[in-house]
Amino acid sequence: MIANKCHPRIAARFLTRRIIDGRDATWKRCLTGSLAEEPKGPVVKTEIPGPRSRHLFQELNSLQQASSVQFFADYEKSAGNYIVDVDGNSLLDVYMQISSMPLGYNHPAMLHALANPVNQKIIANRPALGVFPGKDWPGKLKNVLLRNDVAPPSLSHITTMMCGSCSNENAFKNIFIWYADQQRHGAPFTKEEIESCMINQSPGSPKYSIMSFKGAFHGRTLGSLSTTHSKYIHKLDVPAFDWPIASFPQYKYPLEENVRENQEEDKRCLAEIEELFEKSRKEKKVPVAGVIIEPIQAEGGDNHASPEFFQQLQRIIKKNGAALLIDEVQTGGGPTGKMWCHEHFNLPSPPDVVTFSKKMQMGGYYHVPDLKPKQSYRVFNTWMGDPSKLILLEAIVDIIAKEHLLDRVTKVGNYTLQELRNLEKEFSTSINSIRGRGTFIAFNGSTQERRDDIIKKLLAKGIQAGGCGVNAIRMRPALTFTEKHADIFLDALRSILKQ
């Protein structure tokens, strides 16, 4: 006899039931029927972290380095735009797992996808995609990652990976392989190249470089870390490549009052990029094969650059025969009001590579056809992505389209930015430099200490926010964030600034 109500332990046991005629309605009902409703507002019962979080921290810290942990969450009780911790505090989450939760917590569409028996078998039988992909894999790539409202315009090739760091790391390999093939004019590998690469010597291991930018964050694997320049703790004690590092524009705000100064900043940075190309080629004898850049420098402080800057950057890169890699790991998936932030820049041609992860659930990169390696196993690992994450992404992009969430992001983002500018006028000695696209929003505290204090007091009021750069507070809400949620955040911020 089957229970009518689904206790979590009973629901777990239902998973093991034999599926009859390809369906198990009981399991589906248990999975979707016990969802928590989104709270009407934050509820703070204890200090944060509370006693249960502190106890769990001691347990975890005895097993691994855990000092980055802020609190322990109860993901069964979390819902929508609210994360619930193990002490029963319900927090409005405008940070969303570092920008990686597009629909918030426990969205019914995602849970429903996981209840599908076909999808359960995909999850249970995770393939080595590079050698044994499932029969539906080409179709899934076409119908999810390469559908017209998902893929970056005019990019028709895709390589799936696990995370943002390994996406950038392997994209570097694609760029180097393509660049080397250009240098040998498509000729086959020589005996000298084959033998020398095995002992990390040229010509088989050529000296090429990837140009990056001050303030950038592209990951923590060795190649990606060499292009990361946001915080010393990421890089200290780890060997790095001596690759060129250019200045990213540092704008003055409000933008409309500093047009001339910011245009001059664009020119200064672009001239420096031209100079670095020349110096790398002629003086260092290590030509730049590619340039990696974020459309908005996220970890580095939510630093923006103009569409004109990106257009001129692409022109310089093409002139020097290199590839443009736009890192959309944090900006991809809709938070700027477009699926891809670089769509705001009106580039004359698509970037050569666009990397993604976070809101896209899996890692990977789109690229132009020329960057597809000619030989197998050149870019390869055991899993090459994860079909289970594509199941979730399919549900996500269907909801984005069905509920017009990108339009909502634009509308709510404009509302939030305007209200923050009003607060800046009232409390200019505490916050400044309001900036953002869509709900990908940040503002500065007047000092680092003021920034840290605001974030701490927001948490005490039931708002989970994040910091970045030296003194920036960043918002990374779900695409389901509304004006109602924005008002809760803004009211809490106003009360803190009044103090």
Strand partners, 292: 325
SS3 content of the chain, % helix, strand, coil (to 5): 40, 15, 45
Examine residue 313 and state whether it is found in any structural domain, yes or no.
yes
Assess whether 203 and 241 both reside in one domain: yes
Q: Are residues 99 and 154 in the same domain?
A: no
- Whether 369 and 471 map to the same domain: the answer is no
Q: What are the catalytic residues?
A: 217, 327, 358, 382
How far CA 65 is from CA of 57, 59, 217, in Å, comes to 10, 11, 22
Residue 458 burial by Cβ neighbours in a 10 Å radius (0-12, 13-18, 19+):
buried
Domain presence at residue 344: yes
Domain boundary among the residues 119, 151, 166 is at 119
Q: 169 and 82, same structural domain?
A: no
The domain boundary residue, chosen from 354, 385, 416: 385
Q: Report the number of distinct structural domains present in the chain.
A: 3
Element (H, E) at 454: helix 448-460
My answer on whether 331 and 424 are in the same domain is no
Q: Identify the bridge partners of residue 80 per DSSP, sorted by sequence position.
A: 105
Give how far Cα 6 sits from Cα of 1, 20, 457, Å.
13, 20, 38
In a domain, 12, yes or no: yes
Residue 181 and residue 107 share a domain: no
Q: Are residues 234 and 304 in the same domain?
A: yes
**Residue 392 resides in a domain:** no
Contacts of 106 (CB under 8 A, 6+ apart): 35, 36, 75, 78, 79, 80
**Would you say 336 and 294 are in contact if contact means Cβ atoms under 8 Å apart?**
no
Q: Does one domain contain both 341 and 422? A: no
Residue 124 within any structural domain of the chain: no
pTM above 0.85, yes or no: yes
Give dist(CA 426, CA 324) in Å, integer.
Answer: 42
| Residue range of the domain that includes 226 | 133-385
Q: Which of 119, 148, 168 is the last residue of a domain?
A: 119
Q: Which two tokens stand for residue 415?
A: 């509302």
Q: Tell whether 270 is covered by a domain.
A: yes
| Angle ∠(245,293,307) on CA atoms, nearest 5 | 120
User: Does residue 275 lie within any of the structural domains?
Assistant: yes
Pair 374, 251 in one domain: yes
CATH assignment at residue 418: 3.90.1150.10
Same domain? 415 vs 372: no
Let me know if residue 391 belongs to a domain. no
| 447 and 422 within one domain | yes
Specify the CATH number for the domain of residue 306.
3.40.640.10
Per-position pLDDT tens, the chain of length 499:
334 444 444 344 444 344 334 444 444 444 444 556 899 999 999 999 999 999 999 999 999 999 999 999 999 999 999 999 999 999 999 999 999 999 999 999 999 999 999 999 999 999 999 999 999 999 999 999 999 999 999 999 999 999 999 999 999 999 999 999 999 999 999 999 999 999 999 999 999 999 999 999 999 999 999 999 999 999 999 999 999 999 999 999 999 999 999 999 999 999 999 999 999 999 999 999 999 999 999 999 999 999 999 999 999 999 999 999 999 999 999 999 999 999 999 999 999 999 999 999 999 999 999 999 999 999 999 999 999 999 999 999 999 999 999 999 999 999 999 999 999 999 999 999 999 999 999 999 999 999 999 999 999 999 999 999 999 999 999 999 999 999 999 999 999 999 8
Q: Which residues of 69-107 are buried (b: 16+ CB within 10 A; e: fewer)?
A: eebbbbeebbbbbbbbbbbebbbbbbbbeebbbbbbbbb
In 3D, which of 251, 207, 214 has the Cα closest to residue 229? 214
If asked whether residues 313 and 229 sit together in one domain, one would say: yes
